[in-house]
Structure 1
Amino acid sequence: MITEEEVYGAISTVIDPEVGFDIVSLGLIYGVKVNAQNNVHVTMTLSTKGCPLHELIQQWTKEAVLKIDGVESCEIEVVWEPAWNISMASERVKKELCG
């Protein structure tokens, strides 16, 4: 069975090119679910609704998950509530971006 930790690890390879940090550290991943058939559901957001890389980041996330050996499918759900803000990012990212 695929673990949530494996999925988070795979997703952490996806870098938001606008800020140079991975989307897990940025706090853009709201949740990961893996069912008994190894189908993965990722709930995520983006830093803004107008993000020009909206489609690409979703595609990269899905591709990263599908690279995990044993994953049958991956569904990406983009949500806008709660709205993302910098407080959701890791301490390292906050230090780098906010000084």
Structure 2
Amino acid sequence: MSTETINTTELGDKIVKVIKTVYDPEIPVDVYELGLIYDVFVNEDREVKILMTLTTPNCPVAESLPQEVEDKVKSIKMVKDAEVEITFDPPWSQDLMSEEAKLELGML
């Protein structure tokens, strides 16, 4: 049995790229640029855990958005499994948005 070393940085970049294809339906900015993704963990078994938040706890896409992130990350060939954990600690605020997102929304 060969032990294949994975490049977690490269895989991390792929995961971010895929996450950037998921958009909040109410805001024309992807969830990554919105600052909804707090952390992405990848272990050597190629299992991914994503710590994510929503703009509000009663967000209309509270069920579908994390599922979409999870499904898209699972679709990456190098990923064995993925799990999205929702947290509201710290609560999301506009400060977490990237400059790009703020520009897109006319906040700069």
The reply to whether TM is greater than 0.5 is: yes
Q: How many residue pairs end up in the alignment?
A: 99
Residues 1:19 and 2:24 aligned together? no
Q: Report runs of 4+ in structure 1 exceeding 3 Å deviation.
A: none
Alpha-carbon shift at residue 95 of structure 1 (Å): 2.4
Residues 1:10 and 2:55 aligned together? no
TM-score of the aligned structures, taking structure 1 as reference length: 0.93
Indicate the structure with greater strand content. 1
- Residues 18-76 of structure 1, C-alpha deviations (whole Å, 9 max, x = no match): 10110000000000011111000000000000101011101110111011112111111
Measured on the aligned residues, the alpha-carbon RMSD in Å equals: 1.1
Percent of paired sites with the same residue: 36
Q: Any stretches of 5+ residues in structure 1 without a counterpart? A: none
Larger Rg: 2
CA contact (8 A) 2:29 2:104 kept: no
TM-score of the aligned structures, taking structure 2 as reference length: 0.86
Q: Any stretches of 5+ residues in structure 2 without a counterpart? A: 1-5
